[in-house]
Structure 1
Amino acid sequence: MTSYHWATLSSVPWYHMNRFVTEINSLIKLAAPVSLAQLCLVGMTATDVLFAGQAGTTDLAGMNLGANTWSLIIYFFMGVGFATQPLVAKHYGARDEAGIKHQIHQSMWMCFALGIIATLVVWVSAWAIQFIRFDPDLLSIAQQYLMAISLCAIPITMIPALRGALEGMSLTREVFLVNFGAFLLNIPMDYVLVNGLYGLPKLGGVGCAWSTVGLMWLVFLASSVVVSQHHKLRDKKLLKNFERPNIPTIVRTLKMGVPMGASLLIELSMFAGAGMMIAMFGVIQAGAHAVAITVASMSFMLYMGIGQGVTIRASQFLGAGRADDAWYSVRAGTIFNLMVAIAICIAFVLFTEPLIRLFSDDPDVIQLAIVLLYFGAAFQVADSLQIAAICGLRAYHDTQSPPKYQFISFSLVGLPLGVGTAFYGWWPGLEGAKGMWFAMVVSLSLVGLLLLWRLATRVRDTAV
């Protein structure tokens, strides 16, 4: 019987390390493009922060407030669509071509409806944030940002259905190439729109939103072309003879996807919610948070990419009836994620100031952002473990557990701790932004441990 102890990989004889190395090599080939695709998306955000910061601290803080509000909304709806990836991967492992096509069509119908809802929610949010105590100039930029970026809510919500289909069929390189193209185009588009070149109006931080709108529609169209015209998929005609909405399939996808969206929402309520609360301390603290969280987010997307590679590989093994190989892939991927996190933690400590100076030349912003990134270095290990556990659970179609443990860790522990420390001085010296980042370290550590325990328990129960 398979052992479900985490020590298994470290206790085997050396000759068994060949299997571990082989598994990691296979995982890297699958996950590297996914990680790079995730980094391209973060790179677009980093470019936004870079050009908005050059336009001024107020533009940077206003853009960050709008982006945090947008993220809280759109990542929930995108998260629901992420259910497509493990579902398609399982059909792919079982060589069920009809099931793949059916799932893609139903996921796209579902995501289109979610995109319409997301657009309406963004409009309401742009109106509602005026009732929160923000700097008037900062608030104006944030509202303009939200109204502009709402125009890409539909394509950005539908992209996970197409991307998940490609990744589920191991076509991860193609996903990377599409996202890399968007990243490259975002640089000149941000520069032109933020600074008002070639006769265009100078839009400041709001120009980043308009750049995102154009690029997300382009990514959606490019992803559609890849799904329908890729040489490995052309004969399958995956987007031809489009099926009508099938309510039972959509409901099954929603049952798996809504907890995934809730998981992202709960986690972002800590990160983006922290950014919104930090904005109440003024533009310096908001700007420092924007810079530090941008640097820290790059590592998060790397862990997410590796984790999604584990989801794809383990789902395909499970679809092929190879449960032991699936569990081994999850364990190996978790250890690899941890190794990467330790390396990134060391890099953050050694190169803190040079990383911060890439995004701001304001001395006050730099001074505070350096301190915040030290906290960011502290939560790397915990962040990598919780992502690895979440992605492992997705392969076993357990998407209900992560939001439960995240709610406990982020909402019941992290949020009260952050508010108390940042606003009420529970811990002298950790007021303001530093208090919120301290709470992130505590809550991420807690959820990482809880989710690892749940993953081991889930696989053990499946085998019984």
Structure 2
Amino acid sequence: MKHAISLKQKYIQFFHILIPILVTQITLSLMTFFDTTMSGHASPADLAGAAIGSSLWVPVQTGLSGILMGITPIVSHLIGRGEKDKADFNVMQALMLALVVSIVVIIAGGFALDPILNAMGLEPKVQHVAHYFLVAIGTGILPLFGYTVLRSFIDSIGQTRISMIITLLSLPINVVVNYLLIFGKLGFPQLGGVGSGVGSSFTYWCIFLLALIIVRKGGVFSEYQMLRKLYRISLAKWKELLKIGVPIGFAIFFETAVFAAVTLFMSQYDTKTIAAHQSALNFASTLYMIPLSICLSLTILVGFETGASRLKDAKQYARLGIGTAAGMSVLTAVILLVFQDGVALLYSNEPRVIELTKHFLLYAIFFQLSDAIAAPIQGALRGYKDVNSPFLLAFVAYWVIGLPLGYVIANFTDLGPYGYWVGLISGLAVAAVSLYLRLNYIQKKYARRTGQSAV
């Protein structure tokens, strides 16, 4: 990365960082997308089971990955201050922390999995698929979290194209293994929806090992001397990583876990309604990769400029990113409205599932419009290392407002299952407004502290 002076230069650098991150995030999302759609072509029960398993896995994956992503603003600030020599120590500490987090998650999952699924009252086959999907994908927790740390480092120094290439390689691996195991091709066992969990875990191991080799031996990383020394555990550094990462992780967790909670409530409906809800939610999650990628880009760029005490430049990047996300959300809303029939057909051949999915997709339009404002602002705030307030705002918006409102509308009006989507949309709108106000406050606070202009 380099200091961009004019607005045109900032746009160029912003998209130079953004495009590879966007491709990376879409690719990661497509792994879940193909898990769901390919399982759906096995049977509605496989679709529902894999989708429920995925909806329970994603909050854990994204929330805990968010904790490990605390390395991104730390390294970005170091690069902004010209302290590249300190990056290796920080990344090694983050990798050791990732190992500990992985072990804790595996142990906790072993105790919690069956009680959660039993509480949902699912049909036997659906529960069977969901259970073994989660068991299978759980074998990939360690490499996934390790890859999260390495990818965060790669992105934080502006080498987003490298993480893009690594992640792009994961998609064909995932699709091929899914095909072999879901449908039992070339002599492999026919596992249905469970096979998609095995495929994802195998893919996580592949991309982690590839990233490890590249960071250790790659030419562009030679000046950082990455992973060539062994360090003792530094509890002080872990504390710093957790101080930044835990609020980031919990903010992401509360946003994604609310969808898992909705899935629990949706279990009162029939299998086809659950399958349609999960299909629409899966596609909306794919669209979310656009504002999420802008969020991650702003964390890097705002952190880089803030670390160098160039507050005017940091503020310009924040405005640029939020405006871009808003414009792209309008475009994707139009696309979703026009092609909702085709989108629904991607997930199932069952007429009833297709019809219900189309209805849910209408709500997804409003859903992603609010997301397009809230996500980039969170990224900008993380660049300023402001993480506690966004976490609290996310909790209130999603769990105090969105979920209870959705429950009331779903159970006491004629909207039924669509009521949960209305509640989620309302929570996201509250989050967008409150986060925008917080960003204005933080920018003025930094300006007062340094004596620079707040404009």
Length-normalised TM-score, structure 2: 0.95
What is the aligned partner in structure 1 of residue 386 from structure 2?
398
Selected match of 1:43 from 30, 33, 36: 30
The question of 1:335 aligning with 2:319 is answered no
The question of 1:442 aligning with 2:429 is answered no
CA-to-partner distance for each residue in 1:296-326, whole Å, 9 max, x for gaps?
1111111111121111111111222212111
Deviation (angstroms), 1:253: 0.6
Bigger mean CA offset, 44-53 vs 122-131 = 122-131
CA-to-partner distance for each residue in 1:209-239, whole Å, 9 max, x for gaps?
0001111011111111121122111243210
Q: Which runs of 5+ in 1 are unaligned?
A: 1-17
Selected match of 1:165 from 136, 145, 153: 153
Selected match of 2:440 from 442, 452, 456: 456
The question of 1:254 aligning with 2:242 is answered yes
Q: Which runs of 5+ in 2 are unaligned?
A: 449-455
SS in structure 2 opposite 1:277? helix
**Pairing of 1:62-77 with structure 2 (within 5 A):** 62-77=49-64
Counterparts of 1:63 and 1:212, CA distance in 2: 12
What is the aligned partner in structure 2 of residue 133 from structure 1?
121
The question of 1:431 aligning with 2:420 is answered no
**Residue type of the partner of 1:262?**
F
CA-to-partner distance for each residue in 1:337-356, whole Å, 9 max, x for gaps?
11111111111111111111
**Residue type of the partner of 2:188?**
L
Alignment check: 8 A CA contact 2:406 2:423 kept: yes
What is the aligned partner in structure 1 of residue 211 from structure 2?
223
Counterparts of 1:277 and 1:87, CA distance in 2: 39
Length-normalised TM-score, structure 1: 0.93
Alignment check: 8 A CA contact 1:119 1:154 kept: no
SS in structure 1 opposite 2:140? helix
Alignment check: 8 A CA contact 2:71 2:91 kept: yes
Alignment check: 8 A CA contact 1:61 1:279 kept: no
Deviation (angstroms), 1:19: 4.2
CA-to-partner distance for each residue in 1:329-377, whole Å, 9 max, x for gaps?
1111111111111111111111111111122111111111111111111
Selected match of 2:45 from 58, 69, 72: 58
Deviation (angstroms), 1:286: 1.2
Counterparts of 2:102 and 2:33, CA distance in 1: 25
**Residue type of the partner of 1:309?**
S
What number of residue pairs does the alignment pair up?
A: 443
Q: 1:120 to 1:74 in 2, by over 3 A?
A: farther
Deviation (angstroms), 1:103: 0.9
Q: 1:280 to 1:72 in 2, by over 3 A?
A: farther
What is the aligned partner in structure 2 of residue 409 from structure 1?
397
Counterparts of 1:205 and 1:324, CA distance in 2: 50
CA-to-partner distance for each residue in 1:32-54, whole Å, 9 max, x for gaps?
10011000011111111111000
**Residue type of the partner of 1:102?**
F
Deviation (angstroms), 1:241: 1.0
**Pairing of 1:174-323 with structure 2 (within 5 A):** 174-323=162-311
Alignment check: 8 A CA contact 1:134 1:279 kept: yes
Identity %: 23
Bigger mean CA offset, 230-239 vs 30-39 = 230-239
Alignment check: 8 A CA contact 2:29 2:286 kept: yes
Deviation (angstroms), 1:117: 0.8
**Residue type of the partner of 1:106?**
Q
CA-to-partner distance for each residue in 1:72-130, whole Å, 9 max, x for gaps?
22222111001111111111122212221111011111111101111122222322122
Counterparts of 1:448 and 1:321, CA distance in 2: 27
The question of 1:148 aligning with 2:136 is answered yes
Superposition CA RMSD, Å:
1.4
The question of 1:94 aligning with 2:84 is answered no
Deviation (angstroms), 1:167: 0.4
Alignment check: 8 A CA contact 2:120 2:267 kept: no
